[in-house]
Amino acid sequence: MCILSHTKKGAVWDMPKNYNFKGSILELLDDKELSKKEIFNEIRIESEVLTSDKTLNESLMALLKDGKIYITGYDFNVYNGVKRIQSIKTEGLIFGRVKLDFIELSALIKQLESSDVAEVNDASLKLKSIFKMRVNEVGDDSINLKGLDDIFNRMIYYMDSQKEDQKRVLLKKLAWSLSNEKGSDKTFKNILVYVQSNM
């Protein structure tokens, strides 16, 4: 239940302490990536809610922990032109929504073949985050969690080095294995075993 408060700008709503903004954050990140600062500003503007950073941080961290969103980059504009940066401002963290649809993952994997270096780096970063999340989900004890970046890089390199037909099949299987489709867990485990045995 919201409680009406008054400020110089007019009426705003105070939210109860147990209120969360997970749904609002997911909606904001549905078709774009935003920094923490932008997310907080958007929520406060759209909802006219008077709430603390703590409440918004809790919602953001809950989504991050549940694998619903992930960190995609950093916005250095939060430093307002300061050249010598001596501290990390969490406001600059950029978040994106984790989308595990097979079609979207296939498109993301396709971006790895782009001639645009920035696009390749962006796609690689997103795929690595999803890959790490999937490893944690399937609970494969044979995988060294500290070496996931290296495993992912070697996996992509291995697939990319195959003949075109085989490469296309492996990349489709990778997209399926990273998705939330039925049977994807088994495919993910199988592809890890296959790639590791052939690297």
Query: Has this prediction a pTM greater than 0.85?
Result: no
Split into its structural domains, the chain has a count of 2
Domain final position from 53, 76, 97: 97
Residue 10 has pLDDT above 50, yes or no: no
Residue of 53, 46, 88 whose CA lies nearest to 61:
53
- Where does the pLDDT of residue 35 fall: very low under 50, low under 70, confident under 90, or very high at 90 and above? very high
Rg of the chain's alpha carbons, rounded to an integer? 20
User: What confidence score (pLDDT) does residue 110 get?
Assistant: 93
- 87 and 145: one domain? no
- 117 and 65: one domain? no
- 71 and 146: one domain? no
- 80 and 110: one domain? no
Burial class from Cβ neighbours inside 10 Å (0-12, 13-18, 19+) for residue 33 reads buried
- 132 and 177: one domain? yes
Domain final position from 97, 126, 145: 97
Measured CA to CA, the distance from residue 111 to residue 131 in angstroms comes to: 16
CB 191 within 8 A of CB 140: no
User: What confidence score (pLDDT) does residue 178 get?
Assistant: 92
Residue 60 is part of which domain span? 3-97
- 185 and 157: one domain? yes
Domain harbouring 20, CATH code = 1.10.10.10
Residue 145 has pLDDT above 70, yes or no: no
- 60 and 136: one domain? no
Residue pLDDT, tens place only, 106-121? 999 999 999 999 899 8
Domain final position from 97, 126, 146: 97
The alpha carbon torsion through 67, 106, 177, 132 (nearest 10 deg) reads -40
- 58 and 124: one domain? no
- Where does the pLDDT of residue 3 fall: very low under 50, low under 70, confident under 90, or very high at 90 and above? very low
- 18 and 93: one domain? yes
Residue pLDDT, tens place only, 166-185? 999 989 999 999 998 888 98
